[in-house]
Structure 1
Amino acid sequence: MTNHKKPFHRPLIGAMAILGIISLASLPAQARDLPEIQADVFQVANSGAYPPFSYVDTAGNLVGFDVDIAEALADRMGVEVNIQTSPWNGIVAALAGGRFDACICSMSVTEERQQAVDFTDSYYSSGLSIWVQEDSDDLTSIDDFEGKRVGSTLGETGNQWATENSEGRWRNQTFQGLPDMLNGLTTGRIDVMIADDIPVYVALNDQDLAIKEVNVGELPSWPAAIAIQKNKPELKEALNIALAEIKEDGTYQEIVDKWIGVGVQFD
């Protein structure tokens, strides 16, 4: 992959979903800060449907950038880690409710999410991108999306952007992850796709996809960070220290080189 230094993303949720998460977060939950985790196992979640950050390979193993990040952080913290998958559109609620200790899943830091969970320091920046089929020469601006089928991943920031900006002009169609959405675009089930940019760039390097990016002007971007339950100060501090250590000793860049591309640098 060429030397891209471009902001890219992950996910969001609507007001009704947030209200449900906040209600769930207010219920009694498994309260685990660092001492409890050190005595047991660090339970970490990601979607498993967001290559190259997390996905299940042909051997049935959960792999990816965020998987390696989670393992490296656990190693620095001196804890055993168990990395699990959870549907993206319910992952914040599952975390807030105590099912996991952390979500190391390229989650964008948004004001809505901060009502339900806390975040560590960011470990890269993320932004949105818009894609169409390669021969779609008539789709060059947002105005051209009128009456079209626009795909996004359920629960992601792209889904929120598509919903909030549609104003009835286009039809929104949701998917469970990037692989399904790419298939939807290439097979013509949707006309436009809004997604995080870096995963699509990586997919283009790995596959012969007849799609192209449409420049519609500036799109939103967010810092991506590790989400944890609220009021877990020792865990938050330990994760921030471990993040700083893997960036300082080169481990972080090795993981970037492995999964994203040699020479790519995240903010």
Structure 2
Amino acid sequence: MKLKNATKLVVGGLLASMISTAHAGETLDRIMKNKVLVEVTDQAYPPFSYIDDKGEVVGFDVDIAREVAKRLGVEFKVETPSWEIITAGNWKGRWDVCICSMSPTAERAKVLTFVNEYYGAPAVVAVNSDNTTIKSVKDLGGKNVGTQGGTPYEKYLQKELVIEVPGKEPVKPEFPFGDVTVKPYDTEDFAFQDLGLGDGKRLDAAVAGYLTVAERVKKSGGKLKIVDDTLFTEPLWVAVDKGDPEWEAKIKEIFKAMYDDGTLKTISEKWVGRDISAKQ
């Protein structure tokens, strides 16, 4: 009787261990079994991720994710649902990784795991080139200001932003402006299209990351300009669905190798003209 119970305990322990191990490596196991890495990202965030003239999703983030797939020895696939769906977490196996310029927040950390920081992005104000009243962030009070919904830029304009980096104390930036009317957009593309229609026609200004704004200003044909220094610096992290520490460890391992051998620097210089990669 004792032997029988002991056997049950051993078998039960082994089964529990097997189940725990399978759960711990669920995402990584799926990637290696299916021989494909599924990246999820924004479709309108140049030069990090956007749809080119050929209808393909390209950019800084996409190249990094593609390199991760290469180093895993698997194929690469990218999908572009709405930003709100990405940040809602609970991906349930639809996507494997978000190398998608996401900043960590306490709210997002409830449903996603932030694995490692891979670059930082300063936020700036942009206006129509005909604007003469907004010379700095201090002049935004009472204005209609566009930004992508569900981003730190929206929180900043609402004076609710807290920069939360895993392992560090939260930091609240200064908000040196009066109340603004925040106009959230599904994508930055639409916000900057409205800004380009004319000064004050739909928007008085827009707030976004410097690197994407600089790209839009360059391609605007003189319709847009940047008017202020850095508002705050946004740390961007790799995000994954919760529950797979083995996958998280593998991501850190690959990113360290890419940083050490110069791959992150090369990709960065290709897309933004300088090395913005964070040390791994």
Identify the TM-score tier after normalising by the shorter chain. Answer: 0.7 to 0.9
> How has the CA–CA distance of structure 1 residues 249 and 96 changed in structure 2, closer, same or farther, with 3 Å as cutoff?
same
Q: 1:52 is matched with which residue?
A: 47
How far, CA to CA, are the matches of 1:81 and 1:74 in structure 2?
Answer: 6
| Range moving further from structure 2, 203-212 or 219-228 | 203-212
- What secondary structure sits across from 1:123 in the alignment? strand
* 8 A contact 1:69–1:255 mirrored in 2: yes
Residue 181 in structure 1 maps to residue 176 in structure 2: no
Q: 1:4 is matched with which residue?
A: none
Residue 149 in structure 1 maps to residue 138 in structure 2: no
How far, CA to CA, are the matches of 1:84 and 1:144 in structure 2?
Answer: 38
2:30 aligned to which of 13, 16, 36: 36
How do 1:98-109 and structure 2 match up within 5 A?
98-109=93-104
How do 1:70-81 and structure 2 match up within 5 A?
70-81=65-76
Offset from partner CA, 1:205-247 (integer Å, 9 cap, x none): 344233232337x623232111101121111111111111112
Root-mean-square deviation (CA), in Å? Answer: 2.4
How far, CA to CA, are the matches of 1:245 and 1:110 in structure 2?
Answer: 27
Q: Which runs of 5+ in 1 are unaligned?
A: 1-28
Q: 1:248 is matched with which residue?
A: 260
Q: Which runs of 5+ in 2 are unaligned?
A: 1-22, 161-174
How far, CA to CA, are the matches of 1:144 and 1:206 in structure 2?
Answer: 25
> How has the CA–CA distance of structure 1 residues 140 and 205 changed in structure 2, closer, same or farther, with 3 Å as cutoff?
closer
How far, CA to CA, are the matches of 2:29 and 2:91 in structure 1?
Answer: 19
Q: 2:227 is matched with which residue?
A: 214
Which protein has the larger Cα radius of gyration, Structure 1 or Structure 2?
A: 2
How far, CA to CA, are the matches of 2:152 and 2:122 in structure 1?
Answer: 9
C-alpha deviation, 1:168, in angstroms: 8.1
Read off the aligned partner of 2:223 and give its amino acid letter. Answer: A
- What secondary structure sits across from 2:38 in the alignment? strand
How far, CA to CA, are the matches of 1:94 and 1:111 in structure 2?
Answer: 13
2:218 aligned to which of 205, 228, 235: 205
Name the TM-score, length of structure 1 as normaliser: 0.80
Read off the aligned partner of 2:205 and give its amino acid letter. Answer: V
Read off the aligned partner of 1:118 and give its amino acid letter. Answer: T
> How has the CA–CA distance of structure 1 residues 248 and 205 changed in structure 2, closer, same or farther, with 3 Å as cutoff?
farther
Name the TM-score, length of structure 2 as normaliser: 0.76
Q: 1:226 is matched with which residue?
A: 238
- What secondary structure sits across from 1:235 in the alignment? helix
How do 1:63-74 and structure 2 match up within 5 A?
63-74=58-69
* 8 A contact 1:95–1:103 mirrored in 2: no
How far, CA to CA, are the matches of 2:222 and 2:56 in structure 1?
Answer: 25
Higher relative contact order, chain-length normalized (CA < 8 Å, sep 6+): 1
> How has the CA–CA distance of structure 1 residues 123 and 143 changed in structure 2, closer, same or farther, with 3 Å as cutoff?
closer
* 8 A contact 1:95–1:101 mirrored in 2: no
